[in-house]
Chains A and B, each alone.
Chain A
Amino acid sequence: MKKLISLTVNGKSYQIATEPNQTLADLLRYELGLFGTKKGCEMGDCGSCTVIMDGKPVNSCLVLAMQANRRSITTIEGLESEKGLHPLQQAFAEKGAIQCGFCSSGMILSAKHLLDKNPKPNEAEIRSAISGNLCRCTGYQKIVEAVKGVRG
């Protein structure tokens, strides 16, 4: 039976009726049309479904929509502002850190969380922060360089 939940996604409040067995990833994609959140393995291995929930990056394929009740979610769509792309998005585009693009949303959100906590990470810290995000093009070097280009 569907239940009503309320949550904030990218600063906007929503009230949505959801089935208990719907994941947060599916809610974002199919109920809210936010297709920037990708579904890769759906087993918590690849990180392409990464979203930031109450300030922490998580695999949205492992979170039930109902667990997101009264929580705040940031997806890749939430990073762009009136001023344009988020500096990380800009850096990924400029440094060629986007190849097929499937891992980019998750990579950028994991990197954003790192930079919010630690504005001057070293390379090891960057690599550790994105260790739950797999790039199937194996383009890690340029991804790490893009994040380095944005650090304070």
Chain B
Amino acid sequence: MLLPKFDFHEPLTLPEACQMMSEFGRKARPLAGGTDLMINMKKKIVSPEHLISLSRIDELKAAQCSGNMLKIGSCVTVAELTESELVRKNCSALCTGAKALGSPLIRNLATIGGNIASARPAADLPPSLMAYNAKVVLKKSSGERLVLLDDFFKGPGLTELQADELLTEIQIETPPPYSGCGYINMGIRKAQDCNIVNVASFISLDAPDGLIKTARIIMGCVGPKHLRACSAETFLIGKKASEELFAQAGEAAMKDCSPIDDFRGSAEYKRAMVGVLTKRTLAMAYEEVRSEN
């Protein structure tokens, strides 16, 4: 299967890469892991004239924690996320999502930045990242901006990224005490599968055995982009965590999603699964809160 023709660029620094993006604009595509872009180019869905490979830019490949901020370079691979002690300790649900993505072969190539920027509504990393309230750094030659991941996605394949911008970093504030997060992806197979429904839930309590102070529930595959289960979140605030409460939140989340019928499942089935996965991920999050005490 032939790839269309293009010019290949391999900048060694970020300013050089930004310069190229501003020079070529819409004619260029950044190339990270290539697990999405190469396929879309082979299928002739996209045929950029220039590919700007980011794989030699070392500063995009680091993950570090400074103060209460976890910063992950956009070219950190999904395999590296699964092995990172820093990620596992601070954002266990992101680690769960990374382990569920593709196959070992895909995880060795695919990057966190690519999984975000490709903006697939079924992607494995955005739900937990949004649950942790992650922000992304979008950089271009003339400056950079920090965008909440919630505001980044615009629709399937559509994002806030401008033609001359690169997604360079993911920033996550380390979760406060008495908080936890859970992620479940449901599909037919364990590997190399597109999710039918995926949900991540984050809760934070006001005291070790206290009331729910913050709740964020993100649902994938049930809308044009990852959706927040807003009414379920509001319902949880100020209440005491319990199995029954989580089941009720699941029922509220079912009204927050807008799935469609497709070959992966009926809208009705996906909606029902949103209820189940919301309940279960909330229970996982609560379990994490309790295990820390």
What 1/0 mask marks residues of chain A from 11 to 34 whose CB sits below 8 Å from any chain B CB?
Answer: 000000001111100000000000
Contact of A132 among B38, B55, B102 (CB under 8 A): B102
A67 touches B6 (CB 8 A): no
Q: Is the CB of A64 within 8 A of B105?
A: no
Could you give, for residues 117-143 of chain A, a 1 whenever the CB lies within 8 Å of some chain B CB and a 0 otherwise? 000000000001101111000000000
| Size of interface on B: residues with Cβ below 8 Å to A | 30
CA distance A47 to B106 in the complex (A): 9
Contact status A62-B38, CB under 8 Å: yes
B10 contacts chain A at the CB level, 8 A cutoff: yes
Question: Is the C-beta of A83 less than 8 angstroms from some C-beta in chain B?
Answer: no
Interface string of A39-61 (1 = CB under 8 A from B): 00011110100100000111101
Given A23-B3, A45-B192, is A57 in contact with B108 using a C-beta cutoff of 8 Å? yes
The answer to whether A59 and B109 touch (CB under 8 A), given A44-B35, A132-B102, A132-B103, is yes
Pick the contact of B34: A19, A63, A129 (CB < 8 A): A63
Is B8 positioned at the interface, with any CB of A under 8 Å from its CB?
A: yes
- Check A62–B39 contact: CB distance below 8 A: yes
Q: How far is the CB of B55 from chain A (nearest CB, A)?
A: 6
Determine if A110 is an interface residue (Cβ-Cβ < 8 Å): yes
Q: Which residues of chain B come closer than 8 Å to A67, judged between CB atoms?
A: 34, 53, 55
Contact with A along B101-120 (1 / 0, CB 8 A): 01111101100000000000
- Which residues of B lie under 8 Å from residue A45 when comparing CB positions? 192
B137 at the interface (CB under 8 A from A): no
- Interface residue from B5, B38, B104 paired with A20 (Cβ < 8 Å): B5
Question: With A63-B34, A63-B109 in contact, do A131 and B104 touch (Cβ < 8 Å)?
Answer: yes
> With A23-B3, A132-B191 as given contacts, are A57 and B104 in contact (CB-CB < 8 Å)?
yes
Question: Which of B1, B2, B105, B191 sits near A58, CB closer than 8 Å?
Answer: B105
Q: A50 near B2 (CB under 8 angstroms)?
A: no
What is the bound-complex CA distance between A139 and B230, given in angstroms? 47
**B262 interface residue (CB < 8 Å to A):** no
When C-beta atoms are compared, the residue in chain A nearest to B50 turns out to be: A20
Q: Write out, one digit per residue, whether chain B residues 33-72 have a CB within 8 A of any chain A CB (1) or not (0).
A: 1110011001000000001010100000000000000000
Q: Does B26 contact A (CB under 8 A)?
A: no
Q: Which of B42, B190, B192 contacts A42 (CB 8 A)?
A: B42
Is A97 located at the chain interface by the 8 A CB criterion?
no
Interface centre among A59, A62, A69 (most CB of B within 10 A): A62
Q: Is the CB of A62 within 8 A of B34?
A: yes
Verify A21–B4 contact, CB threshold 8 A: yes
For chain A, residues 52 to 92, give those with C-beta under 8 angstroms from any C-beta of chain B. 56-59, 61-64, 66-67, 69
- Seen from chain A, the residues whose Cβ lies within 8 Å of a Cβ on chain B are 1, 3, 19-23, 42-45, 47, 50, 56-59, 61-64, 66-67, 69, 110, 128-129, 131-134
Q: Which of B's residues lie within 8 Å of A, judged by CB?
A: 1-8, 10, 31, 33-35, 38-39, 42, 51, 53, 55, 79, 102-106, 108-109, 190-192
